[in-house]
Amino acid sequence: MTIETIIAVRVQPNASRDAVEGFATDADGAIVLKVRVSAVPDKGKANKAVIKLLAAATGLPKSAISIIAGGKSRSKTVRFEASAEMVRTALETASPNKGTSKG
């Protein structure tokens, strides 16, 4: 049995730096993880940068993280092959904005 965690991610491509910004509430009231990547959204470069960033933030191998929806959108659904508690704790630790904020 594989343990999986699914997280909604909002990506800002072409940013000045790569960063996990933290969890936030979007306009629809859903909780999303906000990330920035310096890669441009061209030929999957930003998607690869998102996976690399999330792997570094969680300590998981890149092969344990995949974008399962939203490959051509800023709003993505990402699957982690790890427990929800482990993923949440690692992402909150990597984020300068601890906890959930509006935005």
Summarize pLDDT for 1-25 with one digit per residue, the tens: 679 999 999 999 999 999 999 999 9
Range of the domain at 88: 5-94
CATH number, domain of 27, equals 3.30.1200.10
| Any domain includes 27 | yes
Contacts by 25-32, CB closer than 8 A, 24 or more apart: 25/100, 25/101, 25/102, 25/103, 31/100, 32/8, 32/75
Which of the four pLDDT bands, split at 50, 70 and 90, describes residue 103? very low
| Any domain includes 86 | yes
| Any domain includes 100 | no
Number of separate domains in the chain: 1
| Any domain includes 99 | no
| Any domain includes 23 | yes
The pTM (predicted TM-score) of the whole model is: 0.89
Tokens 């984020």, residue located: 95
| Any domain includes 103 | no
